[in-house]
């Protein structure tokens, strides 16, 4: 608290200095009284209180510990489209990666790679299912017993386990703008 009474309405503040400082006291951050003229205020570097990093230095104090990593808008947009190729595959199926592939195949190699890989994954699972159906259904019809259809569980488990694992992993790698190739058993490279 202060030892002065509060100002009455219409009266000036008790001190006429800047920001209520008493006369004769330096403002906050100013040089202490009696310091030689031309010396920078206490706590500020020489040169007018501004720090310029040396040329070629990655540090700039405006950003804290260092500048943010450079990410051009086009690269982040490509990564977003690549992520959508996998997420659309999880939610809808074959159509989103196909549309993304057809739209972005000539403009972004990252998006093209991930959209093609997402489509190749779907086609490979379809081929696995058709092969198992072609092997299991004729004996089940000939021998009139459904025991041969138990092998259809293999592509189903492949879709459930590998599908979520690979598509989520692919979306994460696409978000980091990395090229990650699925194992060949789960993803034959048909579309490039």
- Contacts for 80 with CB less than 8 Å, ≥ 6 apart: none
In residues, how long is the chain?
192
Per-residue pLDDT of the chain (192 residues; tens, 9 = 90+): 556 566 566 665 555 555 555 556 655 555 556 666 655 555 555 555 555 555 666 655 555 555 555 656 667 788 999 999 999 988 888 899 999 999 998 998 999 999 999 999 999 989 998 998 999 899 988 988 888 888 888 888 888 887 788 999 999 999 999 998 988 888 888 888
Residue 13 lies in a domain: no
How much is the pLDDT for 85? 94
Distance CA 79, CA 81 (A): 5
- Which of 159, 54, 33, 173 shows the shortest CA–CA distance to 117? 173
Residue 126 lies in a domain: yes
Provide the residue range defining the domain that includes 153: 75-175
Residue 29 lies in a domain: no
Q: What would the two tokens of residue 48 be?
A: 């007018």
Residue 167 lies in a domain: yes
Distance CA 100, CA 181 (A): 18
How much is the pLDDT for 120? 93
How much is the pLDDT for 160? 83
How much is the pLDDT for 66? 55
Instruction: Name the DSSP class of 49.
Output: S
Distance CA 148, CA 191 (A): 33
Number of domains in the chain: 1
Residue 92 lies in a domain: yes
DSSP 3-state of 134? helix
Residue 33 lies in a domain: no
- Which of 181, 182, 177, 180 shows the shortest CA–CA distance to 79? 177
Residue 129 lies in a domain: yes
Residue 59 lies in a domain: no
Distance CA 76, CA 83 (A): 11
DSSP 3-state of 169? helix
CA-based angle 53:59:60, to the nearest 5? 65
Contacts for 131-135 with beta carbons within 8 Å, 24 or more apart?
none
* Helix 109-142 / helix 163-175 crossing angle, nearest 10 deg: 170
CA-based angle 181:152:92, to the nearest 5? 50
Answer for the pair 182, 175: CB distance below 8 angstroms, yes or no.
no
Provide the whole-model pTM.
Answer: 0.58
């Amino acid at each position: 608290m202060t030892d002065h009474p509060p100002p009455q309405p219409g009266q000036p503040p008790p001190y006429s200095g800047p920001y209520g400082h008493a006369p004769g006291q330096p403002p906050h951050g100013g040089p202490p009284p009696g310091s030689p003229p031309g010396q920078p205020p206490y706590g500020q570097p020489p040169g007018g209180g501004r720090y310029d990093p040396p040329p070629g230095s990655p540090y700039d104090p405006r950003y804290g510990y260092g500048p943010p990593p450079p990410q051009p808008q086009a690269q982040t947009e490509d990564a977003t489209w690549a992520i959508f190729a996998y997420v659309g595959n999880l939610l809808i199926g074959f159509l989103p990666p196909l549309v993304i592939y057809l739209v972005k195949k000539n403009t972004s190699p990252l998006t093209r790679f991930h959209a093609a890989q997402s489509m190749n994954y779907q086609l490979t699972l379809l081929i696995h299912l058709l092969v198992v159906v072609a092997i299991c259904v004729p004996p089940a019809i000939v021998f009139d017993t459904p025991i041969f259809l138990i092998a259809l569980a293999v592509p189903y488990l492949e879709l459930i386990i590998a599908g979520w694992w690979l598509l989520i992993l692919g979306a994460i790698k696409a978000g980091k703008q990395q090229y990650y190739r699925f194992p060949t058993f789960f993803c034959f490279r048909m579309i490039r």
